[in-house]
Structure 1
Amino acid sequence: MPKKDYYDDPKAPAPNSIVPAVTAIVRNDAGELLMIERTDNGLWALPGGAQDLGESIPDAVRREVQEETGLDIEITGISGVYSDPKHVIAYDDGEVRQEFSLCFHARPKGGELRTSSESRQVHWVAPDRLDSLKIDPSMRLRIDHGIKHSATVHLG
């Protein structure tokens, strides 16, 4: 389902839903970051998605990373809570979500890298290569908070 992110944009549509979502900052022993190229908007992002009914937030993080990348992870902490009402995500079916996302720190513990219906490419990316990727500003904010302030939980 194609989507478009808006941040502090007067032309953004009004939100009509809020859905708990998760992302994961997964780093390997070399300090590289697990990134996916999304199929719904062509941008690079942290793996993640919406929480399903009957599932805990930690289970949602593990499931989303596994579905999108093929890797199993161990959650090691929380990086941030993102709920800025100026950030909305419009889907082509008419849903417009106000952002509500929890971002977690994690490390890989098994599995094999692979793509999925949601990830066109999956790669380990060195932090100094992030500027070469097309990343939405709201996603880049999460990444920067997670890699530059790993001991601090960002609330925003």
Structure 2
Amino acid sequence: MIGPVKKTTHEYGDRIGATAVLRVGAAAAVLDGDRLLLTRRSDNGEWCLPGGGVDPGERPAETAQREVLEETGLTVRVTDLLGVYSDPDVVVSYPDGNRAQIVGILFRAEQVEGTAGLSDEVTEVGWFTAEEAAQLTLIANHVPLLPTAFGTDRPYFNEPVH
């Protein structure tokens, strides 16, 4: 008998990141007019900007391009740095038991070729306006990135708590 499928989840708590490792990631904000490319993750069903972990020997901008291609089949070119994000009050808990506070780098990327489709990591893809994206269940770390991703806010960073 097969047991229940384990999913990637989030843990929340005051400075819970101190109980986990840091993991560097990169994500891409790809626009088509006023619509932003978002993917629905196969591991937890939540929507997000395409992205993933930076591999050793890889530049974060290369990670963003690679992850968009792997997750959607769309070839993109990174054009701008949009921000850096990390929330010490959120930990990603993976099915294998690993736990990480993500330090993410957000890039603007433009389409080069291809059509966005599905992969093992993605169950749905879509191009969403800001209003449509606000109605989706997004992963916690990407929610505050949306205004910057849509180009309506300044570069993003988690402001220090005073």
TM-score (norm: length of structure 2)? 0.85
CA displacement at 1:80 relative to structure 2: 1.1
Taking the aligned partners of 1:15 and 1:79, their CA distance within structure 2 comes to: 28
Deviations 1:94-141 (A, max 9, x none): 211012100111111111221000000111112221122111332111
Equivalent residues in 2 for 1:93-104 (5 A)?
93-104=96-107
Q: Counterparts of 1:1-156 in structure 2 under 5 Å?
A: 2-7=7-12, 9=13, 15-28=19-32, 30-147=33-150, 148-149=152-153, 152-156=154-158
Aligned partner of residue 19 in structure 1, secondary structure: strand
Q: Please state whether the residue corresponding to 1:64 is helix, strand or coil.
A: helix
Cα distance change of structure 1 residues 101 and 153 upon mapping to structure 2, 3 Å threshold: same
Check whether the contact 2:47–2:137 (CA below 8 A) recurs between aligned residues.
yes
Distance 1:81 1:56 in 2: 14
Runs of 4+ more than 6 Å apart: none
**How well do the aligned residues superpose, as a CA RMSD in angstroms?**
2.0
CA deviation vs aligned residue, 1:9-58 (integer Å, no higher than 9, x gap): 25x68633211101111101x22100101001100110000011221111
Segments of structure 1 that go 5 or more residues without pairing to the other structure are none
Q: Unaligned stretches of 5+ in structure 2?
A: 1-5
- CA–CA separation in structure 2 for the residues paired with 1:55 and 1:110: 22
> Is the Cα contact below 8 Å between 2:25 and 2:53 reproduced in 1?
yes
Deviations 1:69-116 (A, max 9, x none): 111112121111112222211112221101210011111111122100
Equivalent pairs counted in the alignment come to: 152
Question: Do the aligned residues in 1 keep the contact of 2:85 with 2:141 (CA within 8 Å)?
Answer: no
TM normalised by structure 1 equals 0.88
Contact (CA 8 Å) 2:86, 2:141: kept in 1 or not?
no
Aligned mates of 2:106, 2:57 — CA distance in 1: 20
Alpha-carbon distance change, 77 to 130 in structure 1, aligned in 2, over 3 angstroms? same
